[in-house]
Structure 1
Amino acid sequence: MKKQLILAVLINLGLSSASFAQNDPLLESTIKSVLKSFKTQDNQLLQQHIHPKYGVVYWNKIGVPINQSIFQKSEFKFPNQDSPESTRWFYEAPNSQEKLIKTSRLPETDCQKWNKSGLYYKTLTTKPFSDLTKSNQPIIEQSNEEITHQLNQLKLFEKQVIELQYVSKSRSIGDDLHLYFSKIDKQWYLSAFDNAGQCDA
């Protein structure tokens, strides 16, 4: 009986350790630094977290489909305040003291309000960039060759990808920030910024 009790305790300790080990300090420090760049609109700090070879994915929406583009490190900069609306970025960045929460369920919206506020991230098992490329093919009439080229570009981003969703205390649509982070060659990078929003205009 004592052996069974000891074994149960050891198993529970092992599970607790495994759960704790899932938090990645390198990822969390990268997230915090990127969030700081969004809060202060610091191009230099932002570009430090973009892969020098593969760049960063950018989503925006003009009309129905979500447009997906890949920008190189030097091209990805915060727009000026007087930029045309079509090139402006719409987001709400958290303060530095905002707690970062790992979750299996990100905030959701009914296009009226978000169901919860806070700063959350989760590990993805899906391929968001490849899936969008494939779903867009019949809409924007890309050839199979163009699709194959894009999918090859996106492959490295999706080997290990994290989705981050911030929602401010107002829980209003537009008071949020949606990012993706990918691990490439043992280093975490900002891999995508969603400026398309969760709802149709």
Structure 2
Amino acid sequence: MAEQEKPTFKDIFFVPPNYSEMLKRPYARIEKKDHDFVIGVTIQASLEAAPPPETDPSLGEMVTIIKEEPGTYSEATVTGNTETHIFDIPVVVIECKTYLDKTMLEGSSRAAEDLKARNPNSLYIVVMEWIKLTSDVNLRKYKVDQIYVLRQQKNTDREFRYESKYVKNSINPAVVQHLFKKVRNYLTTDWVGGIEMGIQRGWLIDE
């Protein structure tokens, strides 16, 4: 799955109307988030509540189906006590901007942190034409994996960009090629990680 402007999985939570209904089925909702460009995979997950130990499973009680509000959440198919949800898990996310300033970078970093908390093997990239950051910004504290400046040029006020003397750099094909190779290498390389793998090599966090 590779698409533009694709709403993908952000979080899952459970909202049964009461405890007795929660014993019957999960009432799960999938929260989604829009991304500019996504490469990922479509997941179909079936969820059901395990019967309490004191309940005789042979009774096979059927629940009354309460419709969920679709909104920004996935629409679940309910069969008996089982819910089936279909949603997309992002693996590579590319956020596209005209320019990037510090406030935008902070927002991108929060989105990347949320993504990696649910899918540690994800790659979050920000691409823009111009950059509006100073040397006082510590890029290492942000959670994005890479930032590409296609025109290799700092942002100026919009009115200056329309002056006849303003020179707008062309998009550098070498930068685009670097982006392409980074994504391709990421998708064609084994993802190794976790505690067990880290113990074998002696360090726990991938470099």
Question: Considering the TM-score relative to the shorter chain, is it more than 0.5?
Answer: no
Quick check: which has more Rg, 1 or 2? 2
Larger RCO: Structure 1 or Structure 2 (Cα < 8 Å, ≥ 6 residues apart)?
1
TM-score of the two chains, using structure 1 as the length reference: 0.24
Structure whose residues are more often helix by fraction: 1
